[in-house]
Amino acid sequence: MKHVNLLILDDKEENIVSLSALLSEVEHIHIISSTDPNEALKICWKNDIAIALVDVQMPEINGFEFVSLLKSNPKTNHIMAIMVTAISKEDKYLLKGLESGAVDYLYKPLNPEITIAKVSSFVSQIHIQEEIKQKNIALEESQRQLILAKEEAEEARKSKESFLANMSHEIRTPINGIVGIIHILRNTSLNDEQRDWINRLDSASNSLLLIINDILDISKIDSGMMRIEYENFSIHKKLTDISNFFKIKALDKHITFETIIDPQLPEYIKSSPIRIQQIIDNFISNALKFTKEGRITLKASVVEQEDAQCTIKFTVTDTGIGIKSEALEKIFLAFEQGDDSITKKYGGTGLGLAIVKRLADLLDGKIEAESTYGVGSTFSFQATFQKIEDFKQQETLDTEAIPSLHKFDHVRILVAEDNELNSFMLEHILKSWGCEVDVAKNGHIAIEYVNQYDYDLIMMDTHMPVMSGFEAIQEIKTHPNPQKASTPIITISASVLEHEQAAAYEAGADSVIGKPFDPIDLYQKIDKLISKRV
């Protein structure tokens, strides 16, 4: 423990000697003495004095004046001053000492036990104060480190988000071109072999897109940016759509696929249909992936109903390869597979179930998994939903039922896109719809085109060299010619990050379409915007 410097000030040397001898029994103190008040002041200024025992009656400067001088100096005002006096114990002297800044009194002749006890008590106080001071310093340093760590984490999050945005753009842009070319080729004369190639190419591009979406989803969930959008929908129709989709895939693998729906299941519930489908789709996709023969069963059962609440359990059971018991606990961790050999044989990123677990948490539900190695697995998602009565679904356009699209009449469109494959694909699709098309490779050229020609619509990629799509949109929307400024603009964004899509609207875009896009969706957006302008 650190020693405390203690000053004894008395004009009589014999008093200093006797007091020093008495205090020798007190632990953790270092005694410094003086008979001269002026010298004692210098000692206090130069040394780290913590306690001062000050005689009251001294020539030139008495004890009260000395303590007052200590307390008036910022370098010495922390010193605990104890008056040592042989004068009367009357209250007026006690008050005078306390008013000067003293913390206590010792009366001559000194009682050894009281003197030692008081000095020991003040030494303990100083040690406690020093300990508190050190802890406060450590706490401040800890807080500083926490703030620094938070800032570094925030910077890392922004860097990761920026990287993911760039990665999304760089990968989605060529995929968009591939999907567009597939669409174009499907509208040409193809023999059976060529159509099979196109279908395989479509499947491969969709698989790549699913991987990108998984990476972005896990990042958004971990950073707290994932937002669950609740809406009323038919859970029966959702399960039917899922079943119809996977029945075809199961049939291709010669596997039986069945759906069992509890008769008590409500027709409509309020939740996120997209996220519920994402969870069930993942369960079934894994079942198909790891099942060579047998059966896959999707079951929706009502666990509990109370007033307007309904607890539903969605279960997917398969007769696949199963999961070893020691691997079962880690399958919901990001980038993990139940077995390293699984990745080599079946592929996959190990993100699907990790996303499912996080989505279930966001939906206030729970995920369970049971498996017998070599026999099969059962995955389930259970949550409580609000039942909706008398809900009428809005009629949606069945895009699959559109055999052909009518051509646009006298529509001129500017496409601002720096990727040659995408601009080629867009130009071809738009011309097939009867549009006249001009292509600009960056925002600056797009502005020049707008100044020279009148367009019915502009399609603007958000990320381009020289001048970005955002900058070009802002310049077009502030054009001095009102007709040009009111030209509808659709941004083509490879980013699925909400803030970037919101930035497009803030810049002045009339609509946003992501890469890769559905040509039917693009057609409908163009038709809607042009119709409004007319």
Q: So where are the chain's domains?
A: 4-110, 160-222, 231-388, 400-533
pLDDT of residue 169: 64
Structure tokens at 341: 């050999």
User: Phi and psi of 447, rounded to 5°?
Assistant: -65, -40
Domain 400-533 matching CATH 3.40.50.2300: the answer reads yes
pTM above 0.95, yes or no: no
Give the SS3 label for residue 478: coil
- pLDDT (tens, 9 = 90+) of the chain, 534 residues, equals 789 999 999 999 999 999 999 999 899 999 999 999 999 999 999 989 999 999 998 888 899 999 999 999 999 999 999 999 876 566 676 788 788 899 999 988 889 999 999 999 999 999 999 899 999 999 999 999 999 999 888 888 777 766 766 676 677 777 777 877 887 788 788 888 888 888 778 777 776 776 777 676 666 666 666 678 888 999 999 999 889 888 888 888 899 999 999 999 999 999 988 889 889 988 998 899 889 999 999 999 999 998 889 999 999 999 998 888 777 777 777 544 545 555 444 444 456 788 888 889 989 999 999 999 889 999 999 999 999 886 655 444 333 433 457 889 899 999 998 888 788 888 988 998 999 999 999 999 999 999 999 999 999 988 788 888 889 999 999 999 999 999 999 998 766 556 667 788 888 899 988 777 778 888 999 999 988 765
Secondary-structure class of domain 231-388 per CATH = alpha beta
Rounded CA-CA distance 368/389 in Å is 30
CATH topology of domain 4-110: Rossmann fold (3.40.50)
Residue listed under structure tokens 């958004």: 220
Rounded CA-CA distance 235/245 in Å is 15
Q: pLDDT digit string (tens) for 133-146?
A: 999 999 999 999 99
Cβ proximity of 86 and 57 under 8 Å = yes
pLDDT of residue 416: 92
Burial class of residue 397, CB neighbours in 10 A (0-12, 13-18, 19+): exposed
Rounded CA-CA distance 221/283 in Å is 19
Cβ proximity of 515 and 495 under 8 Å = no
pLDDT of residue 8: 95
| Sequence-distant (≥ 6) Cβ neighbours of residue 106 within 8 angstroms | 53, 82, 83, 84, 85, 114, 115, 118
User: What one-character DSSP code corresponds to residue 474?
Assistant: H
Rg (CA), the chain: 40
Rounded CA-CA distance 70/66 in Å is 6
Rounded CA-CA distance 363/285 in Å is 21
pLDDT of residue 168: 66
Give the SS3 label for residue 321: coil
Same-fold call for 4-110 versus 400-533: yes
State the alpha helices, DSSP H only, in 223-339.
235-252, 273-289, 325-328
Per-position DSSP letters for 38-93, written without gaps between them: HHHHHHHHHS-EEEEEEES--SSS-HHHHHHHHHHSTTTTT-EEEEEE-S---HHH
Amino acid code (one letter) for 159: S
User: What one-character DSSP code corresponds to residue 491?
Assistant: E
